[in-house]
Each structure stands twice: as C-alpha cells, then as structure tokens.
Amino acid sequence: MIAFHAKLYLVMLAGFFAIDMIWLGLLARNFYQRHLGYLLSESPNWAAAIVFYLLFIAGLQLFVVVPALQANSWPKLLFLAAAFGLITYSTYDLTNMATVKNWPWIVTVVDLMWGVVLATVVSCIAFQAGRWLR
C-alpha cells in the first residue's frame, strides 16, 4: 500500500511540476510581470516553492485522489479537485487582497481559475494512474 501511494505521489508531483512550469514560465509569465512586477524578486525562492509543491500534492492526494479512487468515481474526483484548487489558491490570493496594498483583483481571478484547472488536471492524471497502478 505504501508503494502504491508513493508511486501515485511521484506521478502527481511530475505532472504538477511540468504543468505549472509551463504556466509560470511560458503562458502567464508576462501576465504576472505586468501586474505584480513591483513585488516579484529576480529569482524564485526555490526552497519555498518546493515545500509548496510537496504539500499541495500531498493534500491533493489525501483529500481528492484517494477518496475518488476509493469511490471509483469520476464525478467525485472532479468536484473534489475543483474545490481543492479553488480553496487552496483562494487562501493565497484572498489573503494578499486583504493585506497587500494595491493587490490586483485580476491576478486573484486568474489565479483562482488556474488553481481549479491545475488541481483538476493533475487529479485526472493521478486518478487514471491510480486505477492503472492498482
């Protein structure tokens, strides 16, 4: 059972990292630079980013993928994944809206949509992988 969860975690981590790097490095790079350039550092804090990725994937596996696999339910997976992405990304963005002067609302809207898409796509990959790994 531990081997199953470890393999599933690695699949999710690889998928999440690849998809998020395409988003951050290619698709949305100019968007964030335009709206948050005044806040961005010259290089990412990779330690913080890695901890976020590890925790996010653990939460996604624990609260979304495993329950959906246990129920063998695509609808459950899609609902839990979208909810998890929305809630987790809301934590960051709505806190910033509440505390950072001139935080752009458009960044919050885009981030929340991205959180839903990212969590859902990674969860779908993991659900298929989990069904295959069983």
Q: In terms of C-beta density within 10 A (0-12 exposed, 13-18 middle, 19 or more buried), how is residue 88 classed?
A: buried
Please choose, from the candidates 129, 2, 123, the residue with its C-alpha nearest in 3D space to the C-alpha of residue 64: 123
Residue pLDDT, tens place only, 91-133: 999 999 999 999 999 999 999 999 999 999 999 999 999 999 8
pLDDT in tens, 20-51: 889 988 888 889 889 998 888 888 899 999 99
pLDDT at 38: 87
Domain extents in the chain: 2-133
Residue 1's pLDDT is 84
CA atoms within 13 A on the CB side of 26: 6
Half-sphere exposure of 98 (CA within 13 A, CB side): 6
pLDDT at 90: 97
Tens of pLDDT, residues 56-84: 999 999 999 999 999 999 999 999 999 99
